[in-house]
Structure 1
């Protein structure tokens, strides 16, 4: 996944560089350059961070580092939500259940995302859709508790 996102960034004329940064900073985007913290241990977590930084390319404007400003927090959320939809579209959650994933750990592993990223994504979908959303003609994804039901249409 990380390599695929790096290729996508390149196709958008964005340079991706790994650099040692303060531990609390996982990634930064500006002027068509994404920095990923070299200290991140797994490519799965790097992919989650890179997706969000590509999301900044698509959704944010200007310097939004000061998170005491509400407008910057909103732009941060837009980029994060873009990353959620990119890495975990609703139909991919459905496919996990169809392929027998039972736990959040199994779902995260199947989707190549961190469990934290998955949990935050599920929270995003709950905010957007409520407790359930119809994914396709025959399936409803329940976000609380997490389950899939097949409809008889």
Structure 2
């Protein structure tokens, strides 16, 4: 899923590209159905930032800017997980394997996400599922490095 597709799927929200870096240093901001995205980002970076801001729209409530607050931290993680699942998901990892992606760079390029976003997603999945998880006849291994293995039946 790319930046334009995310915008189309969520056309009911007010989304605008702006110069946020000089004002706040943020890459994106969500408030009450309005999303601002840093206009100087690459398209791939914008995709990742927009997905996270959409995650806030769909999963969080109230002001969570104070990340020293445990409740705000939990909501931040929930929004990021939403974004990871929207752009990557376990099925995306398997699809990348089927498309012959053999390293993180290839997988990030295939999924149209940044390597940083992919690494964060993999760390999140590792925390959620442990060192590996099975899905649809495949074993996704997160440690010691990412691998996808097709199970024999």
Q: TM-score, length-normalised on structure 2?
A: 0.93
What is the Cα deviation at residue 71 of structure 1?
1.1
Map Cα deviations across residues 73-94 of structure 1 (whole Å, 9 max, x no partner): 1111110110000000111111
Answer whether contact 1:9 1:16 (CA < 8 A) is retained: no
For the residues of structure 2 that align with 1:131 and 1:84, how far apart are their CA atoms?
18
Match of 1:8 in 2: 9
Task: Spell out the pairing of 1:24-103 with structure 2 (5 A cutoff).
Answer: 24-40=25-41, 42-103=42-103
SS at match of 1:120: helix
What is the Cα deviation at residue 105 of structure 1?
0.3
Q: TM-score, length-normalised on structure 1?
A: 0.93
For the residues of structure 1 that align with 2:66 and 2:138, how far apart are their CA atoms?
42
Cα RMSD (Å)? 1.1
What is the Cα deviation at residue 98 of structure 1?
1.6
What is the Cα deviation at residue 143 of structure 1?
1.1
Match of 2:139 in 1: 140
For the residues of structure 1 that align with 2:127 and 2:74, how far apart are their CA atoms?
14
2:74 is equivalent to residue 104 of structure 1: no
Unaligned runs of 5+ in 2: none
For the residues of structure 2 that align with 1:45 and 1:100, how far apart are their CA atoms?
23
Unaligned runs of 5+ in 1: none
For the residues of structure 2 that align with 1:131 and 1:31, how far apart are their CA atoms?
37
What is the Cα deviation at residue 116 of structure 1?
0.2
Answer whether contact 1:139 1:151 (CA < 8 A) is retained: yes
SS at match of 1:61: coil
For the residues of structure 1 that align with 2:13 and 2:53, how far apart are their CA atoms?
10
Map Cα deviations across residues 93-146 of structure 1 (whole Å, 9 max, x no partner): 11111221111000000000000000000001101111111011x211111121
For the residues of structure 2 that align with 1:116 and 1:81, how far apart are their CA atoms?
14
- Once structures 1 and 2 are overlaid, which stretch shifts more, 63-72 or 1-10? 63-72
How many corresponding residue pairs?
A: 149
